[in-house]
Amino acid sequence: MAEPSSSDVKAQIFQRLHPRVYLERFVAENVRPDGREFDDFRDLSVVLGSVSTADGSALVRLGETTIVCGVKAEIAEPDLDRPEEGFLVPNLDLPAMCSPKFKPGPPSEEAQVLSDRLNDIIVSSGILPISSLVIHPGKAVWVLYVDATCINYDGNAFDAALVAMVAALKNTTLPKATFNEDTGRTTCSRRTRTPLALARLPVAYSFGVFDSKFVLADPTAFEEPLLDTTISVVLDDRGALLSTAQVGVGMLEDGEDALDLPRRCWHGSRR
C-alpha cells in the first residue's frame, strides 16, 4: 500500500483543523471534497437475504454508509380496539462501532429522531397494509420487527435506512398461519411461505444547505455538521410525495425557503 504524500497529509490536517474553510474552498470551485457535483447522490447498492436467520433482510450501501436490516416476525394478540390490525415496528440503531461520533450506551438522540421519522414513513404511509398481518381477527396477528443497524456511518443514514427497511420488507416471507378456536393456539406451516404485499415503495432524497447558497445532495458525515439545514423528501415508486422534513432553520440568501430546494435537484437524483 502506497504511503500518502506530504501534500495529502497536509490536506488531511487542514481538513481536521479548518473543516468549514476546507469545504468552502471546494464548493467555490463547484465541486465537493469527494468529487461529486452538488446534485449527485452516491452509488447505492442493495443485497437481499443477507441475514439467514431473519424472515427478510437487506444490506444497503450508500457510498460508505452501510446499513443491514432484518425483519423478525412474531405472533401476538391484537389491540382490543384494533382487532383487525397487526403491528409494524421499525427501529434504527447507530452503535458506537459505526462511527466515533456515537458513544456506547443508550440510543443517541439522533438515533431516536431517525427511528421516529422512519416509523412515520413505514407505518403512516401505508407501505404495508397492517390489516394484511391479521391471522384471525381479535385473536392473533403478526408483529414485524424491522430492525436496521448501521455498521459504517458516512452520513445520510435516513436515506440508507429507509432503503434497507423497504428492501428487507420486500424480501420478507411469512409462514402460513392458522388459528384454532378450540385450542386458542396458532400453528405455522413449515413448507408454505407467502411474501408481503407491499402497496408502495418509498425512497428518501436528502439535501443540505451550506453557507445559505449551496444545496448539497446526499451529504456525507464530513459535510453534515457544517450544514445550515437538512431537508428530506420522500417519494413513492409512482413519484407521489409522501412527506417532507427539515432539520435546522435554513434560508437561501434570496429568501427562498429550504423546503423548496429539492425540486431543483430532483432531475439528477432519481435512483
- Going from N- to C-terminal start, the domains of the chain cover 23-34+202-268, 44-195
174-193 confidence digits (pLDDT tens): 999 999 988 989 999 888 99
Q: At what angle do helices 109-119 and 157-171 cross, to 10 degrees?
A: 50
The one-character DSSP state at 110 is H
Phi/psi at 176 (nearest 5 deg)?
Answer: -65, 125
Burial of residue 65 (number of CB atoms within 10 Å: 0-12, 13-18, 19+): buried
Cβ within 8 Å of residue 128, ≥6 positions away: 88, 122, 144, 169, 196, 197, 198, 199
What are the mean pLDDT values of the chain's consecutive 10-residue runs (271 residues total)? Answer: 64 81 92 94 96 96 98 95 94 95 90 93 89 94 97 97 97 94 89 92 93 92 94 89 80 54 48 50
66-105 confidence digits (pLDDT tens): 999 999 999 999 999 999 999 999 999 999 999 999 999 8
Cβ within 8 Å of residue 73, ≥6 positions away: 55, 142, 143, 144, 145, 172, 174
Assign a CATH topology to domain 44-195. Ribosomal Protein S5; domain 2 (3.30.230)
The whole-number pLDDT of residue 17 equals 82
